[in-house]
Amino acid sequence: MSTSIVILSILQPVFIPDLYDLAAVLKSDTVVLQDTETWSRKGRTHRAKIRTPDGTQYINIPIVTEDRGKPIHQVRIDHSTNWIEQNLRSLEYNYRNSVYFDFYEPEISADFQSAKDHEYLLPFNLFLRERLFRFMEIEVTANTILASELEEYHSNPDLLTKNLNAEIYYQEHDARNYQRQGKKRSELSFTHPIYRQHFDGFEPGCCLLDLLFQYGPESFQIIDQI
């Protein structure tokens, strides 16, 4: 009698997922979000890539300075700046002529404004993640677990995988500068789909807002390719 192979993805709770993140989630049985790892300015817990006329840029969530050496789940948002309005202006400037921007902008704006109700970064990231999956009608079947909720969590991904009885594990794409790499990690079988962006050419790795504003309810045409 054959048994199914359990696939695990070990990711960090990013500000806004991209297609690499989504592919890992959709191809896994279990996803562990590493909220107990030390926050890194090189990571994407606080920044997301968007498309611009000149290529790409990041929109950012400012972090309380004294929290920068703490675990991700203990990091607070610095609400002393008008970062929400700055990010919304960046989105409007770069996406206002996208096909579905006007349709989604009111709810996206309200979701960003709701960050004022969040002292800590992690709950806001998780909220945005679920909202985007809902907008794009993405059904996630993987069991998603926070590292802080595990009785036995290991930052060593090989040991974590063993403890969770998984045979294969993926890690965050291009994250060697801020995520501990395992010796037994598998490379995600993923070719980034090329889709129509608002500006000429194509830039991979943009956050899911880039796809949502351009394709809206037809985003599944691209998501099905991953």
pLDDT in tens, 195-212: 999 999 999 999 999 999
Please state the pTM of the whole predicted model. 0.93
The answer to whether residue 192 sits within a structural domain is: yes
Q: Is 219:100 a contact under the CB 8 Å cutoff?
A: no
The answer to whether residue 170 sits within a structural domain is: yes
Mean pLDDT of 30-53: 97
| Domain hosting residue 137, numbered range | 7-223
Q: How far apart are CA 201 and CA 72, in angstroms?
A: 35
The answer to whether residue 2 sits within a structural domain is: no
Single out the residue of 12, 2, 221, 17 nearest to residue 128, CA to CA.
17
Domains of the chain: total: 1
The answer to whether residue 18 sits within a structural domain is: yes
The answer to whether residue 38 sits within a structural domain is: yes
The answer to whether residue 1 sits within a structural domain is: no
How confident is the model over 95-148, as pLDDT tens digits? Answer: 999 999 999 999 999 999 999 999 999 999 999 999 999 999 999 999 999 999
Give the pLDDT score at 77: 99
The answer to whether residue 149 sits within a structural domain is: yes
Beta strand extents in the chain (DSSP E only): 7-11, 30-33, 47-52, 55-60, 143-146, 168-171
The answer to whether residue 181 sits within a structural domain is: yes
